[in-house]
Chains A and B, each alone.
Chain A
Amino acid sequence: MADTEGCADREAGPSGGLALRVSGLTVRSPRGRVLLSLPSLELPGGTLLGVRGPSGAGKSTLLHALAGLSAVAEGTVRWGDTDLSRLDAEGRARFRADQIGMIFQDFLLFDELSAQDNAALPALFRPRAERAGLRARAAARLVGLGLSDTARSVASYSGGERQRVAIARALAAGAPVLLADEPTASLDRAAADRLIADLTGMARAAGTTLVAVSHDERLIARMDRVLTLADGAPVTGAQAA
């Protein structure tokens, strides 16, 4: 199967999230250098995809392209019925707000805000009618992730707690797609294990499509499929092994 080249099939997840169809994707640096070239990638909705590869392989570049953040990209990235390449920057932002949750290696929280406010951050720019619902879901996610005392500023939180706030934020909007860039890299082993369990557990429970970039074999092992990148291109199964 040409379009799953580089992906090691594991087990198909429950379908609730958006399906992904990437074809002929080429991402260039502002100066024109090719950072990532991905001829084809197809995921059924609800799939958990692990992305691994050496540093500089283009993993983050892939996530940015999947989120519609790349400035210079050719080819198509289609989530469900939406072709990101046909949307302008504002349209892609709206799509992200509605459909995509993102998690970063260093959490990217506002230290000055409480866990509750961080998790409900998108409420600040969502239509007024959605704000209360979003806050309620964020609060529920925080509780679901075992965080209490969420009115406290996140400055005092541990790394594991911060990343759980970031997950709550990514899930609060009820997005059917979750993109995670090395979510355990800043955590100690115990916190990383807990996070892996939370992340994959929640994604599976909600049927979310999850693309997680990670060096962490324990996280990769929990994924349905794995894509290995090297030098901005997928590596075939044989090479990856």
Chain B
Amino acid sequence: MIALWDSLPVLAQDIAVTLALLLPGVLLGAGVLRGFAPWPLVRAILWRFRGPSVLFVLLIALSVGMGIGLLAQERGLRQGTAQAADKFDLIVAAPGSELTAMFAAVFLQPSDMGLLSGDTYSAIAAHPSVTLAAPLAFGDSFGAASIVGTTADFVRHLSDERIEGRLWRTAEEAVVGALVPLEIGGRFAPSHGTGDAAEPDGHDGHESAVVGRMAPTGTPWDRAILVPVEAVWEVHGLANGHAPERAGQIGPPFDAAYFPGTPAVVLRAASLGASYGLRSEFTRDGETMAFFPGSVLAGLYRVMGDVRQAMSLMALVTQGLVAASVLLGLFILSRLFRRQIALLRALGAPRRFVFAVIWSFSAVLLLAGAAGGLLTGLGAAQLLSAAVTSRTGVAVAAGLGWTEIQFIAAFVSAGLALSLLPAALVLRQPVIEGLRA
């Protein structure tokens, strides 16, 4: 049985779980409505109580939407960040927090980090299984764009060689990310520091020209200006990584004696196995640490997963409370309707029919609310994603996933089952008092 389940494609499993969650609601509906055609009456009741009905639908939509929005957003964030880390196979940095190093290198949120020396860099770059070893240099900005110093090879790798214009040839040329508001041929003067701490005249007189633009990557690098790492070093009055006799050289190899240090080196290896080898090789106490950003993110997701479970639980409790208040409201509404209910009984309607009418009424509200919640949730997730994307540059696509669909399916089934309650309560009202009312 378990083997059979595991052998199914994931899509089939998702569909099966969704159907299983919906099934109780569908069976319930089929059982309650069997042999009856209550819709004209249900429509009449909905129309008579259109005000409260719309209110209930909005209430349900809002609470379902919150649940959906959180789920979709969380997944979108996970996918977006994983996608952003995709190009970063292995990172080597000075010992410290892997999270800090990852945020700096992958998400361009640098904080104070130790530096790797020229010798260390040379050892890494010279390793036979390393195919790319890009030093990074942070610290400057232009407007909202961080300026990152690196190598041309890394820019090629990051953009999958999709570059409009060309790569830099001198220290005064730059390639911009897809979202940087600079044209090819435009010029800019770097400010020292980033964000509010940036000093516009920090590097007087220095200017660079934009010679290329990367295609969009959906990562924070879309908002960065990439320059030769030599340029960043020079602007800060450091050695530029090359011996004086080769001062004009741009890119590797670097001369260890003239290497000012780098907070992080992004590595690519010939194979996955080689990556693991490099990681253990460059994890050296007191000297270097090497990590896969993907695993650091996975650890982060595990923590987020716990938070998500807590949030899901809260969302469920909220939903339960909303459902309970809606059911109570329905019951109160049906008190207003008790003359008509008594009339139905006086006309000989079976109890099950009256039950079906009241139940269908709540079912319509629930289904409409769930559908509205789906839209609300997707809308909210979209807004949140847009906000996250505009803040971090991580492209977060919060779409509809199976988790959300299953969440709604479970909500609908549970709601339909709970709706049996007010319907049963209504039936307990005495007929004659309803007729006299």
Residues of A within 8 A of B (CB): 30, 60, 64, 67, 69-71, 89-90, 93-98, 100, 102, 104, 108, 110-113, 117, 121-125, 127-128, 131, 169
Q: Is B435 an interface residue (CB 8 A)?
A: yes
* Chain B positions 40 through 58: 1 when the CB is less than 8 Å from some CB of chain A, otherwise 0: 1101110110000000000
Q: Is B32 an interface residue (CB 8 A)?
A: no
B343 touches A108 (CB 8 A): yes
98-128 of chain B: CB within 8 A of chain A: none
* Across-interface contacts of B435 in A (CB, < 8 A): 64, 69, 104, 108
Counting from the closest, the 7 A-B pairs by CB-CB distance are: A97-B348, A96-B348, A112-B44, A125-B353, A108-B343, A125-B349, A112-B47
A108 touches B43 (CB 8 A): no
Q: Is B339 an interface residue (CB 8 A)?
A: yes
With known contacts A113-B40, A125-B36, A96–B347 Cβ distance under 8 A: yes
Interface residues on B, range: 20 to 34
Q: Is B436 an interface residue (CB 8 A)?
A: yes
Q: Considering the chains assembled together, what is the distance between the CA atoms of A111 and B49 in angstroms?
A: 12
Q: Which of B45, B48, B343, B430 has the most A CB atoms < 10 Å from its CB? A: B343
In the complex, which of the residues A30, A110, A125 contacts B44, with contact meaning CB atoms closer than 8 Å? Answer: A110
Q: Is B432 an interface residue (CB 8 A)?
A: yes
B350 touches A125 (CB 8 A): yes
Q: Considering the chains assembled together, what is the distance between the CA atoms of A71 and B44 in angstroms?
A: 29
B351 touches A64 (CB 8 A): no
Q: Considering the chains assembled together, what is the distance between the CA atoms of A117 and B41 in angstroms?
A: 9
* Across-interface contacts of A102 in B (CB, < 8 A): 346-347
B340 touches A108 (CB 8 A): yes
With known contacts A64-B432, A104-B435, A131-B37, A94–B350 Cβ distance under 8 A: yes
Of the A-B pairs whose beta carbons lie under 8 Å apart in the complex, a sample of 14, sorted by A's number, is: A64-B435, A69-B431, A94-B348, A96-B347, A102-B346, A108-B343, A111-B48, A112-B45, A112-B48, A121-B41, A121-B344, A124-B36, A124-B40, A124-B349
In the complex, which of the residues B43, B344, B353, B436 contacts A112, with contact meaning CB atoms closer than 8 Å? Answer: B43
With known contacts A71-B430, A124-B36, A124-B353, A97–B44 Cβ distance under 8 A: no
Distance in Å: Cβ of B374 to nearest Cβ of chain A: 29
* Across-interface contacts of B87 in A (CB, < 8 A): none
In the complex, which of the residues B35, B40, B45, B430 contacts A117, with contact meaning CB atoms closer than 8 Å? Answer: B40
B350 touches A90 (CB 8 A): yes
* Across-interface contacts of A131 in B (CB, < 8 A): 37
Distance in Å: Cβ of B434 to nearest Cβ of chain A: 10
Residues of B within 8 A of A (CB): 35-38, 40-41, 43-45, 47-48, 339-340, 343-351, 353, 430-432, 435-436
List the B residue with the shortest CB-CB distance to A93. B348
* Across-interface contacts of B349 in A (CB, < 8 A): 93, 97, 122, 124-125
A93 touches B343 (CB 8 A): no
* Across-interface contacts of B339 in A (CB, < 8 A): 108
List the A residue with the shortest CB-CB distance to B48. A112
B347 touches A110 (CB 8 A): no
Distance in Å: Cβ of A136 to nearest Cβ of chain B: 16
Q: Considering the chains assembled together, what is the distance between the CA atoms of A3 and B347 in angstroms?
A: 29
A69 touches B48 (CB 8 A): no
* Across-interface contacts of A94 in B (CB, < 8 A): 348, 350
With known contacts A69-B432, A108-B339, A122–B348 Cβ distance under 8 A: yes
B38 touches A93 (CB 8 A): no
List the A residue with the shortest CB-CB distance to B39. A124
Q: Considering the chains assembled together, what is the distance between the CA atoms of A125 and B360 in angstroms?
A: 14
Q: Considering the chains assembled together, what is the distance between the CA atoms of A100 and B35 in angstroms?
A: 22
Given contacts A110-B41, A127-B35, 8 further A-B contacts (CB under 8 A): A30-B430, A93-B351, A97-B349, A108-B339, A121-B41, A124-B353, A125-B37, A125-B38
* Across-interface contacts of B346 in A (CB, < 8 A): 67, 69, 96, 102
A113 touches B44 (CB 8 A): yes
Q: Considering the chains assembled together, what is the distance between the CA atoms of A71 and B203 in angstroms?
A: 95
Q: Considering the chains assembled together, what is the distance between the CA atoms of A167 and B340 in angstroms?
A: 17
Q: Considering the chains assembled together, what is the distance between the CA atoms of A125 and B349 in angstroms?
A: 6
Q: Which of A64, A95, A112, A169 has the most B CB atoms < 10 Å from its CB? A: A112
* Across-interface contacts of B431 in A (CB, < 8 A): 69
* Across-interface contacts of B40 in A (CB, < 8 A): 113, 117, 124
Distance in Å: Cβ of A169 to nearest Cβ of chain B: 8
Distance in Å: Cβ of A81 to nearest Cβ of chain B: 18
List the B residue with the shortest CB-CB distance to A128. B35
